[in-house]
Structure 1
Amino acid sequence: MRLPFASNAICTFLLFATIALLFEIPSISKADNPTLWSCYDSANYTSGSQFETNLNNTFSSLYQNTPLTRFNTTVSGEDPDRVYGLVQCRGDATQDECRNCVNNSTTEIVRRCPL
């Protein structure tokens, strides 16, 4: 049985769209720069405080321990100066890319949201 012309046109379009999408996927790049960030104005800490020490310990732990598994959580300190950290790198990121991303991210957090 022969399909009507309209049906053949739809099949051709779907095939073309699928092929075009397959060629587009490899050109999707890794996310290097954040496009959205926000600092809360209601909280801050003092330079040299226990919170800052815990924050730096959290950043260090995330940097050292994340690249192997590309995911890590850590906690530093006790209340009220406790700091929680969580990092997840993309599955296609190498260990070096993940390590660099964690390092750049922790630097940017402090730069964009000082104290």
Structure 2
Amino acid sequence: MRVRAVRFGIVLSAFSLTAMAPAGGQDVACVVADPTGTPLNVRTEPNGRVVMTLNNGSKVRRVGDRRHQGKGWALVASDGGALGWVFAAYLDCVPVDGDELKSAPMRPRPSGN
């Protein structure tokens, strides 16, 4: 299990190096706001293997962005380090001033029905 965690960390480090930084070169504070009501999948890469999930209201930092097949993806991190890639449309984000992570506003999204 430890080897798997180390490999996963190495993979995420490699992806974070190839990710485009958010506009302005700063981290962005985000809150998970998945309109489906299910936990948001966190993946090894855009549209990659699911490695964990985040519940609505979870606070993360967006530290990178990438387009994949015409859709926006965000590399997110917590205080513990990189978590992985999530579908960017399911995050509500605000810029961070300095090193302080602010709470992002929670704006419910329509379910699309």
- TM-score for both structures, normalised by structure 1: 0.25
> Which structure shows the higher strand fraction?
2
State the TM-score, normalized to the length of structure 2: 0.26
Question: Highest Rg: 1 or 2?
Answer: 1
Counting helix residues as a fraction of each chain, which structure ranks higher?
Answer: 1
